Structure formats: C-alpha cells, structure tokens
Amino acid sequence: MDSLVKMLEENNIGKWLTNVSLRKYTTYHVGGIAKYIVFPKNSDKLIILLKYLKNQKIKYKILGNGSNTLFSDKPYDGVIIKLDNFNNLTIYGTKMTVGSGYSLIKLAKEAEKRGLAGLEFASGIPGSIGGAIYMNAGAYKSDMGYIVTNVKVLTPNFKIIQMTNTELHFHYRSSFFQKNPGYICLEATLKLQKGKKEFIEKVNRERKQRRVATQPLEYPSAGSVFRNPEGMYAGELIEKLGLKGLYKGGAQVSEKHANFIINRQQATSQDIKDLMDFVQEAVYEKYKIKLKIEQELVNWE
C-alpha cells in the first residue's frame, strides 16, 4: 500500500500512522495491528480518502473512541479512519451543533456548565458523538434518539446531506447507520432544554458515585456487553446463573456488574469473545433467551 502513503502525502489528508496496535484505540485494550490509521483534517479530505480506498478496493473502518467495539486479535489489513479532527462545537440557545469526533462525556460537561438539561444520561458514556449516534447510546431510560434533531451525513456516493431524527430510525441501541453501511455521521445538532445548573450537577455527581460503586471502572471494558431483553435485565440473568467472577484467559465477568466483561489480566480479544459466547449460551440453556451482544464485533470474519 505504498501508493496509499503517496496519496496521503500528495493530498495532505492529515496525520497517519502505520502498524499500530488497536489496544491503544479501544477501551477493552485489545485488538490486532492496524496496517494504517488515518486522521483526515476535514470532510473534503475524508472524501478524497474514501474515494481512493473504494477505487483501490481497500477495506476501511470508521472508528470513534473504540468504547463499544471488540476487534479480533488478527491484523487489520486495511485503514482505520479516526474523525478526531471533526471536533467543532457551536452552542446557540438550547441547541448544540457538534462534530462526530467530539467526546460525549465532554459534551455532557459543557451542557452542565451552561445549565442545559437532557444530556445527563451521557455523562458516563465514553464514546464519540458519531459512535453514540451509530449505536444510539443511552442510559437511565434516555438515549441519543431523544435529543438529536438532525445529522449531517456523508452518503456512499460522497454527497453531504442532512437527515432528520425520524429518518435516522432510532430504536433501542439501534439506528439507521447500523443498517446502512457506507453512511457516515459528520456532525449532529442536539436540542436540549433549559435547566437549573445546580440540579444538573447534582444528578451527574450522584450518577458518577453510583457508577463507581456498581461498575468496574478500574478495569478496561466496553460497558454493557448484552442488550437488556424486554422487561428484564441481562446482568440479573447472568448473575442468577452464578457467573460473576468467571474467567476465560485474562477476561472476566465483572464481580461488580454481571453485564460487564473486563480485561482483568492482559486478556486477548479471543478471551473476551469466548467469555461472551459462554455467557450467551449459558443464559439460553437456562432461560431460552438469546442475549443480543450490544458491542460491535470487527474483523472476526
């Protein structure tokens, strides 16, 4: 892929790295070696890059903060695209327009500072805006679908369009983007409400204390592994089977929260995947409920 390097340099696409461990770019701290990671400067550079990759039939993956992703241990023989430079933020009244590479936790903090309510659910979700919209990230009975009004999207035909909330088909941990690969979130507009700064601070503080007490934040993880079945909690089903603390290699079902798998002792991706599969099968065998994995599995084919 020497021609790729030449293209990147000639077109001044942005920073790029080669032969990088994905452990540095995922919250599980696992994954194989990525042949290239590219950080496009803006949407024009991103389009040039994508056109080249498609013409050359080079596989690629848009990656946010890697907070809801499990890469395999295999080398990723393609290009990881990071939209970290898509980090603009404009606030006018109760509306926020924000780039897809912006941190969700950081945005929740900005809302808190300004007394804007509606993002409290996101104060502990370590994803990017683009990743949060892709997964329709949520907590505390709220999610991105409640606050996103429209999204600036790059289509597979390299056109930039605006899509409205209803067009984005937000459902529980699901969105238009998951079912339509090739569409890329560039920027989003969120609609919040005026609130009392002191109250928002109090809610965020109390929820942080609860997370510290109930979630294994001291170990690498990717948050909740399985979606909650309707009317049930995945963690409760797993805990009832006595699977808390179960190891597979260096991966462990958290002793704090049964719906978290943690990288306890230099786990591999395969360790984590094996544990996911074991838990999924055990729950099905006992309850005849097929838990759906919430996290995105990449490069396992």
Residues classed as catalytic: 173, 224, 294
Could you say which DSSP state residue 256 is in? S
Residue 171's closest CA among 136, 139, 142?
A: 136
Phi, psi of 148 (to 5 degrees): -80, 125
Our CA angle for 133, 139, 145, nearest 5°, is 35
| Residue 130 three-state SS | helix
Torsion of CA 222, 294, 130, 54, to 10 degrees: 110
For residues 2-16, b (16+ Cβ closer than 10 Å) or e, as one string?
eebeebbeeeebbeb
* 8 Å CB contact between 91 and 158: no
200 vs 2: CA distance, rounded Å: 51
Q: Residue 97's CB: how many other CB atoms inside 10 A? A: 16
For 181, the token pair is 């690969």
For 245, the token pair is 């603390």
* 8 Å CB contact between 101 and 87: yes
26 vs 35: CA distance, rounded Å: 16
Phi, psi of 238 (to 5 degrees): -70, -40
For 219, the token pair is 């170990």
